[in-house]
Amino acid sequence: MINILDPGARVIDLGCGSGDFLIRAHSKIESGFGVDGSKQLIKYAQNRTKDLNITNLTFEHRMIDQDFKPKAHFTHATACLLFHVLPQELAVQILKFSTTYCARLIICAFAPPENKKQQLLMWLDQRFTSHYRHYREYCQNGYMEGLIKKCQLHIDDIADTFDPTLKIYTLSH
């Protein structure tokens, strides 16, 4: 995902977790803003940024809901492993609405398994999570491509990752 970002990008990372992506990307981008619903993870990201003397990143503890609207505009919105966690109606709203505050989206998400082994490994990974119901809905609705289609976004590229069940989608509107 870092390789796909344009140098000088202004990035919002949705569901940023511990901030790992923005922290790794910070020297390539102009600024980064991470939002996550976990207070603990945001605190961790803020402490790490401070310890590493990184000055171009900010993190905010906030639940992203259908009314979520950041104060600034961004060149890119990124999201890694977020959309299968959310109720799918909310996932559609967040994805659609992100086009009002950023030009491009880079999303790392589960793709349809290519064989029974991948299917089983994905199921084992997700079955005992609290969001399993949302994950099932995500699969039934056609995975990330199903969401993208619903939002009428344009897929510029789909890149493979080290994990065959995870793909990186570059989108525009």
Q: Which is nearer to ligand SAM, 11 or 154 (CB)?
A: 11
Distance CA 135, CA 59 (A): 26
Beta strands at 31-36 and 166-172: parallel, antiparallel or unpaired: unpaired
Element housing 160 (H / E): strand 154-160
* Site of interaction with ligand SAM (CB under 6 A): 15-17, 20, 36-38, 41, 63-64, 80-82, 85-86
Q: How far is CA 96 from CA 65, 139, 164, in A?
A: 12, 19, 26
Q: Which is nearer to ligand SAM, 113 or 154 (CB)?
A: 113
Quote the least distance from Cβ 57 to ligand SAM, whole Å: 14
Structure tokens at 18: 């511990």
Q: Which is nearer to ligand SAM, 31 or 93 (CB)?
A: 93
Residue from 112, 114, 98 nearest 171 by CA:
98
Q: Which residue is nearest to ligand SAM (CB)?
A: 17
Quote the least distance from Cβ 42 to ligand SAM, whole Å: 9
Quote the least distance from Cβ 66 to ligand SAM, whole Å: 10
Q: Which is nearer to ligand SAM, 69 or 116 (CB)?
A: 69
Quote the least distance from Cβ 131 to ligand SAM, whole Å: 8
SS3 88: helix
Q: How far is CA 113 from CA 22, 25, 30, 142, in A?
A: 28, 29, 36, 11
Q: Which is nearer to ligand SAM, 81 or 155 (CB)?
A: 81
